[in-house]
Amino acid sequence: MSTESSPLLSYRFFRVAGAAEMPGAAQEEAPLVVGVGGLASGGPHHDPARQLSTFFGVVVPTVLSMFSIVVFMRIGFVVGHAGFLQSLLMLVVAYLIISLTVLSVCAISTNGAVQAGGAYFMISRTLGPEFGGSIGLMFFLANVCACGVYVLGLVEAILDVFGANGAESPGAKALPQGYLYSFLYGSLILLLCLVVCLVGAQIYSKAAFFIFLVVNIVLITIFASFFAVSPREVVISRDSNQSFNAFFTGFNISTLRDNMYARYSQDYTTNNIMSFATVFAVMFNGCTGIMAGSNMSGELKNASSSIPRGTIIALVYTFVIYFLLFFMTSFTCDRALLQGDYGFFRAINVWPPFVLIGIYAASLSASMSNLIGASRILHALAKDDLFGIVLAPAKRVSKGGNPWVAVLYTWALVQLVLLVGKLNTIAGIVTVFYLVAYAAVDLACLALEWASAPNFRPTFQVFSWHTCLLGIVSCLVMMFLISPAGASGSLGLMLLLLGFIHLRSAASSWGYISQALIFHQVRKYLLLLDIRKDHVKFWRPQILLMVANPRGGSQLIKFINHLKKGGLFVLGHVEIGDLDTMPSDPIQAHYNFWLSLVDKLNVKAFVDLTLSPSVRQGTQHLLRITGLGGMKPNTLVLGFYDNCVPEDYFLQDPAFSQARENDEFGVDLTALQAHFPSVREGESQRALSPAEYVAIISDAVKMHKNVCLARYFHLLEKELPSSSSKKRMEGCYIDVWPLNLLRPDTPTYVDICSLFLLQMACILTMVSSWKAARLRIFLCVESGDVGWVSKEEKLKELLTKLRIKAAIQTVTWDQVVALHGHQQAGGDSQGKEGPTSGAAPLPPRPPGKEAREAFLNAATFHVTDEYLASVNSLLLRQGGQTAVRFLYLPRPPADTSQYQRYLEQLEVLTTGLGPTLLIHGLTPVTCTEL
C-alpha cells in the first residue's frame, strides 16, 4: 500500500507506519561474558543507571507505542470498511505476526545480560557486526524519521483546531499558519522533547507515565461514552461545504448486524477504493511498537525478566482494548458514521476535548520516545565503532550516563527532517524499517536455535524454530504489503550497509553465529558424505601439501590452490620434537600464524600441524588423520628434494613488505615474518635426508595416496610474461608426457597413472587464470614404428571421450631409445630387452602380471645418466613457452638401498625444465559415462 493512499482523515501524520520505539541508554559492557547473550560480571542490578521497573520501563512505553494515535483515529476506518468479522480477523492475524517476534525477543533477552541498544544489541551480538550495524543504522533512521513525522503531525493537529485556517472551533483561530510557521512550531515542540531527553531517561519515564495515565483516562471516557451518550445524529461536513447525516445508535443489534460484514468503498481522504490488503496494512501499522520496552534494556533493573513479562502484558492489554473498541464501535455506530468520519470518537464523547487531549498526548509521547530511542541506538553504534570517526563523538556521556552528544546528533537530524515539511512519502518506509528489524530479531533467534549451541538456553521456552521462521516470513510479507517500493529500498540499503561494514573488516569479540551454524551443518553433511558411495565421475583432488617453510614455497601453495578444483586443500607442516620433553604443546600457538598466511596468500586451504620426532613419521600421521569422514586427502604433494636455494617469497611480494595493523587474531606482518625463519641455504640445515624423502613417497603409495613432486615452482611467475593473469597465459603451453620416461618400453599411454596426469592437467586448464594456456600431449614414437598413426588415433579418440581439448604432438625419439639400449619392433608393445649402456644386464623377464610389474619397476633404476640427460634434452627441445610440465613419476623401488639412485635419476630428468609436476596416480579418476 502506498503511503499517499493511507486513509487517515485530515491528520497527515497519522499515516506514519509504525509505532514509537525507545531503546534504552547505552551502558558499557562488562568485561566478563559468559553464554550467548553475555552474562556480565556485576550484573545489571549493580548499575546505578538501571532504575526502571517492569511497569515503567516496559509496559508503559510499549503500550504507548502500540496505541500512539492509532487507537483514536483508525478504529472507525477499519470497522467501517472491513466490518466487524474481518476487522477481528485482521486484529488476530496482526497480533499473531507481532507475537511471533515477541517470542523471539523474549527468548534472546532471557539468554543472558542484555545491554543497552535494544534490538540493535540483540541482533549485533547474535548475527555479528555486519547485520547488527546495518540494521541498527536503519533502526536509527526509522526512529529519526518517525520522530519528525510525529512532531509535524502534532503541529497539524494543533493547527486544525487553533490555526488561523482551522476547520474546527471557529472562535479559537489564533495561530498564524504557513510553511515557516509550521517549521517554527515543530522546532519548539522538538526543543521541548530535547530538554526532556537531555535531562535523562528518568524524567522521560515520569513524563511517559503521565501521558500513559492521560491516554488511559481518555480511553475510559470513550468506553463510558458508548454507554452514557444517548443515540444521536451526527452531521459530517466536507471541505467543499457538503454535509450528510450519520447516526450513533447506541447498543443496537441491528447496527451490529449491519456492521458484521465488509463493505469496502471509497476512502474520503484519498478517493481510493479500499480493499482487505489496504485496510489490513493500515491496521497493522498501528501494532508495530512491540520493542519499545525491550529497547529500554539499558535502564531496566532486571532486563532478562522485565522484557518478556512487560512485553507480553502490554501485548495482551492492547489486544483487549482494540477488541473492545472494535466490538463496541460495531454495536453502536452505523456504517455511514464510520466511513464518513474516522475521528468520530470526538463526536460521540461525553466531552469532545478529551479525544483531542489524547491525540496531543499520544503524539508528544511518540515524539519523545523516538528522539530518545534514536539517540540510544546511535550511542550504541558509536561505542561499537562500526562506522569509524563519523560517529566517534556520540560515545560521550554525561556524569549520569546520559549520551548527550548522541541526543544532540539525533535532534539535529530531526530538525533536518522537519525542513521537509510533509513526510507522507517517508512514512511508509518507517514501518518497513521497523519490520526489517523485527525480521532480523526473528532471524537471530532462529540462528541460535538452529546452531544448537550449548550456551543458548533461554529461560523463556515458549518458542521454537518454527515460530522464528514464521515470524521472518510474516514480517517480509507485511513489508511488501505495506509498501513494495519501501520494502525493496530498505533491503537494498541494508545490503549496501552490510557490504560497507564488511569491507571495513569490523572485528568483534561478540562471537559469530555463522561459525556455529556452519559447524552444525558441516557436521551433518560430513555424516552424510559416505566414502562407500563415492563414484569415479565425481572424483576431485583432495590435496595434502607438505610445506617446510612458506617463505620459499608460497608460489607452490598458490599453484596447488588452482589444482584443487573445489576439493579439500590442506597445508601440512611437521615440527621436529618430542612432546615428552616439552612443558606444553608448541603447535597450538602456531596455528594463527599459518592461518594468517593462508589469508595473506588468498588461498582456500586448511592448516594441519603436527609434532613428531621425524618428518617421515609426522607425514604419516598427517596422511592418516588429516580430514574427517569423506573429506580426507587422496593426494600428497611434496616439494622436490634438491640443492636449489629457494627464493624468499616474503621479500618479493609487496603484500608481505607493507606494514599493516594487527588482524583480528593479533598477528601483524612483523610477527608473521618473524615466525617463519629465513629460507635454508645449505644441506646442513635440512631436517630430512634423501632416503627419508623417498621413503615418504613410498609410504604414501603404500597408503594408496596419489603422489605429486613439484620442482622449480618458485620460477613460475618469472618464466611467464609480465601482464594480467589471463593475457600472460596466451601462447603458453601446459605440456603432458603421459609415458614413463624412465622406462620407454612400458606398454601403454592409458594406464591409471597416465590418465591421472591428463586429469590434473585438464583441471588446471579449467581455472580462469589458466584458460588461455593450451594443453599439449606428447606421443613418443620411433621412426621404425609403423603403428604410430594408430596410436595417435586411439589417443585422439580417448581425449574425445574424456572431453579434454588438447593438441597431440608426435615426437621422434630414436636417439633417446638407442641410449636405453632398446629397439622397439613396429607395433610390438612388449619390445625386446637389450644391453644397457653403463648398467648391469637384466635377467629375462618373468611370466605373470605381478612378477612382470616388479621386474619393470626394478628395470627402471638401471637406466644411465646419459639416457636421462638425453630425455631431459628432448623435453627442453619442444618449441613454445611452456608454463608447466606434467611428467610420469615411477613408483619408488622396493629396495631401500636404491632410494638414493631413484632420487638422483629424477633430479637429472627434470634439471632446468622449469615448473614441473611429477605425478604418480593410483586411483581411477576419469569417466566416459554420463
Which DSSP string corresponds to 71-139? HHHSHHHHHHHHHHHHHHHHHHHHHHHHHHHHHHHHHHHTSS---TTTHHHHHHHHH-HHHHHHHHHHH
- The predicted structure's pLDDT at residue 44: 40
Q: How far apart are CA 906 and CA 708, in angstroms?
A: 13
What pLDDT does residue 747 have? 53
CA distance linking residue 451 with residue 458, whole number of Å: 14
Measured CA to CA, the distance from residue 383 to residue 401 in angstroms comes to 13
- So what's the pLDDT on residue 437? 83
CA-based nearest residue to 482, from 642, 280, 671: 280
pLDDT value for 43: 42
And the C-alpha cell for 574?
Answer: 611437521
pLDDT score of 126: 74
DSSP strand pairing (706-711 vs 916-920): antiparallel
Written as one string, the DSSP assignment of 606-617 is EEEEEEESSHHH
- Is 0.85 topped by the overall pTM? no
Say how far apart CA 914 and CA 887 lie, in whole Å. 12
Q: Give the model's pLDDT for residue 25.
A: 39
- Helix (H) or strand (E) holding 494, with range, is helix 484-503
Evaluate whether 12 touches 159 at the Cβ level (below 8 Å). no
Long-range contact set of residues 796-803: C-beta below 8 Å, sequence gap at least 24: 798/750, 799/758, 801/928, 802/758, 802/762, 802/926, 802/928
Q: Give the integer Cα–Cα distance in Å for 566 and 538.
A: 11
Task: Sort strands 881-888 and 732-737 into parallel, antiparallel or unpaired.
Answer: parallel
Instruction: Evaluate whether 102 touches 311 at the Cβ level (below 8 Å).
Output: yes
| Local structure of 506: helix, strand or coil | coil
Cα 891 from Cα 911, distance rounded (Å): 20
- Calpha distance 446→104 (Å, rounded): 8
The whole-number pLDDT of residue 860 equals 52
Place of cell 618458485: 714
Cα distance between residue 274 and residue 749, in whole Å: 78
- Per-residue confidence (pLDDT) for residue 464, from 0 to 100: 87
Q: Which residues have CB under 8 Å from 424's CB, separation 6+? A: 3, 4, 6, 12, 15
Series of mean pLDDT values for 10-residue runs along the chain (930 residues)? 37 36 40 39 47 83 81 86 94 91 86 71 76 82 83 80 63 74 90 86 82 92 92 76 82 93 84 84 76 73 82 93 94 90 85 87 84 84 80 81 87 88 62 83 84 76 88 89 84 85 66 72 80 75 91 89 88 91 87 87 91 93 88 92 79 62 59 72 64 95 94 79 60 88 70 88 88 88 77 85 86 81 40 36 48 49 82 88 92 91 92 93 74
**Helices 119-127 and 75-109 meet at what angle, rounded to 10?**
50
Give the separation between CA 917 and CA 707, rounded to whole angstroms: 10
